[in-house]
Amino acid sequence: MTLPRSYLEYPRRAPGMDHDRYDYRNLFRHKKVVWPGDARVALVVVPVVEFFPLNMNPAQMVVKAVGGMERPYPDYWNYTTRDYGTRVGIYRIFKVLEQLGLPASVAINARVAERAPFLLQEVTRRNWEVVAHGLDMSQVFHGKSAVEDERAAITAALALLRQASGQSVTGWLSPMQSESHATLDLLSEHRIRYTLDWNIDDLPVRMNASTGAVYGMPFALDVNDRQSVLDFNLSNDAYVEQLVDGFVTLWQEAGQYGGRVFTISANSWLTGQPNRIAAFRRALEIILSHPGVWPTTYGALLDTYQAQE
């Protein structure tokens, strides 16, 4: 397949970095980071709670949301499969985390806070961190999006979640991790400290934005349950092995190079299924059996990292 010429036309196309958001660094030459208690690995678990509107039209979306409607309206089959996550699946995930004594950074669409306020209360009563995940999964922005449309969506999502949660909400995950050229600048305007959109290092990365820095936080793509289940078609045993292998590699590296970050995302409509929740728990139990694990949230992680920059 030949790419159109326009695909290679973008700002800052030149040798070296193709953007001015962050500089190159070699993580194995980075100053050693020390986590509390001299832990080797900071573990962040990220339950993901999403709302897929019944009337979302994939034919009109440049970037299609995985899990979105695929059949002519009304696509009740897909809609109810995703809605299972907010009605049942997410509470299984919460139960596992609570039983294991783990904190969480919960990425949640703002429309979920409107439609299911009880769910958000279950997050805040546990003193878990709320991460803004846009308005809903039909609001996916990209390089051709109008800046004012994206600004309005970010403003609305943060206003809803900040008011409903009572938290400052300083973390962001774009629907489908899709950004425009303006996203980081818009996030910095809205007092966002970090984003999960950039699949980069195993430590936070300071990125340049219009009104200050926004940090790119580790959010492991290859062990994302959406990737593992839908793209890789992994069995439960293979999924557990993948998580544990990824963790062990970072745990071993940390002994020589300093603290690392391992993240586990848990989409409510995937990991929350009755046939998958036990594998999620088993992987966490194996990881927690290692010495030198610091279960934390993104906010606390970033505080600790910034203090050592």
Residue 217 lies in a domain: yes
Summarize the confidence of residues 56-70 as an average pLDDT. 76
Reply yes or no on whether the pLDDT at 262 is more than 80: yes
pLDDT of residue 122: 98
Q: Residue 307: what pLDDT?
A: 98
What is the model's pLDDT at position 1? 59
pLDDT at position 189 is: 97
Q: Report the pLDDT value the prediction gives residue 3, as an integer from 0 to 100.
A: 74
| Nearest C-alpha neighbor of 167 from the set 231, 222, 120 | 120
Q: Could you give the percent of the chain with pLDDT greater than 90?
A: 79
Averaged pLDDT of the chain:
94
Task: Return the residue matching tokens 């492991």.
Answer: 220
Question: Is residue 281, in this structure, part of any structural domain at all?
Answer: yes
Segment 217-231, tens digit of pLDDT: 999 988 999 999 888
Note whether residue 152 is domain-resident: yes
pLDDT-derived band at 24 (thresholds 50, 70, 90) equals: confident
Q: Is residue 41 part of a domain?
A: yes
**pLDDT of res. 47:** 99
CA distances for 167 relative to 85, 128, 259, angstroms: 23, 10, 28
Confidence of residue 67 (pLDDT cuts 50, 70, 90): confident
Question: Closest Cα to residue 228, out of 272, 270, 180, 287?
Answer: 270
Higher pLDDT, 96 or 223: 96
Q: What is the pLDDT of residue 274?
A: 98
More reliable by pLDDT, 2 or 309: 309
Q: Is the pLDDT of residue 62 over 80?
A: no
Q: Determine the structural domain holding residue 177 and report its residue range.
A: 33-306
Q: Given a cut of 70, is residue 15 above it in pLDDT?
A: no
Q: What is the pLDDT of residues 112-137, one digit of tens each?
A: 999 999 999 999 999 999 999 999 99
Write out pLDDT tens, residues 162-188.
999 999 999 999 999 999 999 999 999
Q: Examine residue 236 and state whether it is found in any structural domain, yes or no.
A: yes
Total count of domains within the chain: 1
pLDDT, residue 123, reads 98
Q: In this structure, is residue 203 part of a structural domain?
A: yes
What CA–CA distance (Å, rounded) separates 171 from 158? 10
The answer to whether the pTM exceeds 0.85 is yes
Quick one: which H or E segment has residue 41?
strand 41-49
DSSP output for 203-249: S-EEEEETTEEEEEPP--STT-HHIIIIIS---HHHHHHHHHHHHHH
What's at 163, amino acid-wise? Q
**What are the strands, taking DSSP E only, across 50-148?**
105-108, 129-132
pLDDT beyond 90 at 19: no
Looking at residue 232, which CATH number applies to its domain?
3.20.20.370
Lowest mean pLDDT among 18-22, 171-175, 254-258: 18-22
Q: Is residue 20 part of a domain?
A: no
- 291 phi, psi to nearest 5 deg: -70, 155
